[in-house]
Amino acid sequence: MDIVLQIAVILICLFYGARKGGVALGLLGGIGIVIMTFGFKLPPGKPPVDVMLTIIAVVAASATLQASGGLEVLLKGAEKILRNNPKYVSILAPFTTCLLTILCGTGHVVYTMLPIIYDIAIKNDIRPERPMAASSVASQMGILASPVSVAVVSLVAFLAKAPVNGHVIDFIQVLSITIPSTLAGVLLIGIFSWFRGKDLADDAVFQKRLTDPAQHQIIYGESTTLMGKKLSTSQWTAMWIFVGSIVVVAILGAFTSLRPLISGKPLSMVLTIQMFMLLAGALMIVFTRTDPSSIGKTEVFRAGMVAVVAVFGIAWMADTVFEAHLPELKAALTDLVKTQPWTYAIALLLVSKLVNSQAAAISAMVPVGLAIGVPPGYIVAFAAASYGYYILPTYPSDLAAIQFDRSGTTHIGKYVINHSFILPGLIGVSTSCLVGYLLAIANGLV
């Protein structure tokens, strides 16, 4: 009976924290850990310190990239591709936002791209909902394919503690599955979006809005673009430092012999990522005109620090409960997860919706899944299920897409659940999970 009450406390903290938003999600974990320790007398679990330190290092580098203006180099390049191929914006836009997320490690880069995507679509008589909704979803899917995202480094850190037959599923193996599975999901989203909804000429609601001159001006107003902006040498320098660091991390992950031996073993990739992300941030400050005081004011830094607090509170609370009841959980769930491992993916998806964060969902569920016997191969295969917050249109990127689409085609439906992002999300995540599963089989992980 105690475990039922304790899980109920976890769910209440998650749900209430998610509703409050921001750092509340992690702080509510503090209520949970106090109740578990002082109320139920459970021994406190272990907060994921390695994961948190990695998040801080990655966020510091990404925020320095944004503060230095290096991010604008990537955004301008993405816009150039879209403006040169406007007819294919419904397919190219989601790939563009996904790739930006893969490079930067955060989906928050999508905010700058959304008004540009809208402008390209509306000026070419393409229903804005098609690329806008797809781009918002794809930007979040790219997190699981990024070598410097909080979610991926968290996943790698947890898998490092769960060897299979003496072998750990390492950084490169994880990305060898998550990158192609993510891109496959984004491709299916783009193909679906190409045909979704009515053409603007056939949309009676849209055409009625155009009869009002004021609405016509709002819908077709001024263009948003970075194309005329001149980029400085320091911006290019910052971009190349950041991208170069990612390449070095990937090479060190692929070739373990390049890493120094520590106590007879190659330096762990968790520490390697931490070192090179801090190095990237330092080099950007040294070789560009970046004001260090501006780094902490960036959107990337604020969002990243929220992630640190969320992972701290949620993971510590969950670990306290599940570690205390591990024998009972193993006895009750081992057969289920062995015969029907897809149930882990469903649980991960639902937790993700509760916490509105892939990193937080992974931090809460991966240790639990490993502890109760979910094979690590399945955890990698179904990693895409950690993106479940498209189910309700409450995530900032989705709300931003609705706001930037002045045509009104990207929308929340009458019944809330029938919104513009639900179908792209379902298609993208289910495709990624299926492809991830097939790749895990091909790699001998399942």
Reported as a single tens digit per residue, the pLDDT across 293-309 is 999 888 778 877 877 88
Backbone angles phi, psi at 104, to 5 degrees: -95, -15
> Residue 435: its pLDDT value, please?
97
Residue 333, pLDDT score: 66
Please write down the HEC assignment for all residues of the chain: CHHHHHHHHHHHHHHHHHHHCCCHHHHHHHHHHHHHHHHCCCCCCCCCHHHHHHHHHHHHHHHHHHHHCHHHHHHHHHHHHHHHCHHHHHHHHHHHHHHHHHHHCCHHHHHHHHHHHHHHHHHCCCCCHHHHHHHHHHHHHHHHHCCCCHHHHHHHHHHCCCCECCECCCHHHHHHHHHHHHHHHHHHHHHHHHHCCCCHHHCHHHHHHHCCHHHHHHHHCCCCCCCCCCCCHHHHHHHHHHHHHHHHHHHHHHCHHHCCEECCEECCHHHHHHHHHHHHHHHHHHHCCCCHHHHCCCHHHHHHHHHHHHHHHHHHHHHHHHHHCHHHHHHHHHHHHHHCCHHHHHHHHHHHHHHCCHHHHHHHHHHHHHHCCCCHHHHHHCHHHHCCCCCCCCCHHHHHHHHHCCCCCCCCCCCCCCCCCHHHHHHHHHHHHHHHHHHHHHCCCC
Distance (Å, whole) CA 76 – CA 74: 6
pLDDT value at residue 332: 66
List CB contacts of 60: < 8 A, sequence separation 6 or more: 277, 278, 281, 295, 301, 304
Report the distance separating Cα 445 and Cα 417, nearest Å.
Answer: 36
The per-residue pLDDT for 78 is: 87
Phi, psi dihedral angles at 69 (to 5 degrees) = 90, 0
Total count of residues recorded for the chain: 446
Predicted local confidence at residue 21, as pLDDT: 64
Q: Which of 297, 270, 302, 290 is nearest to 148 (CA)?
A: 270
Angle between helices 299-324 and 49-68 (to 10 degrees): 170
**Per-residue tens of pLDDT for the chain, all 446 residues:** 677 888 888 878 877 776 676 678 788 888 989 999 998 888 888 787 877 887 788 888 888 988 998 888 988 888 889 889 989 999 999 999 999 888 877 777 787 788 889 989 998 999 999 999 999 999 999 999 998 787 888 898 888 887 777 778 888 889 999 999 999 999 999 999 999 989 998 988 889 988 888 888 888 877 777 777 888 999 999 999 998 998 888 788 778 788 898 888 888 777 888 899 899 999 999 999 889 999 988 877 887 787 788 778 877 887 788 778 777 766 666 667 677 888 888 888 888 877 778 887 888 888 888 888 888 889 999 999 999 988 877 677 887 888 888 888 998 877 777 889 999 999 999 999 999 999 999 988 87
pLDDT of residue 48: 75
Count CB neighbours of 212 within 10 A. Answer: 11
Distances (CA, A) of 424 to 90, 143, 241, 293, 354: 12, 16, 34, 39, 19
- Count CA within 13 A, CB hemisphere, residue 136: 34
Task: Give the chain's radius of gyration (CA, Å).
Answer: 22
**Cα(200)–Cα(129) distance, integer angstroms:** 10
Q: Of 103, 73, 105, 64, nearest to 284 (Cα)?
A: 64
Distances (CA, A) of 274 to 52, 268, 376: 10, 10, 23
Distance of alpha carbon 194 from alpha carbon 233, whole angstroms: 38
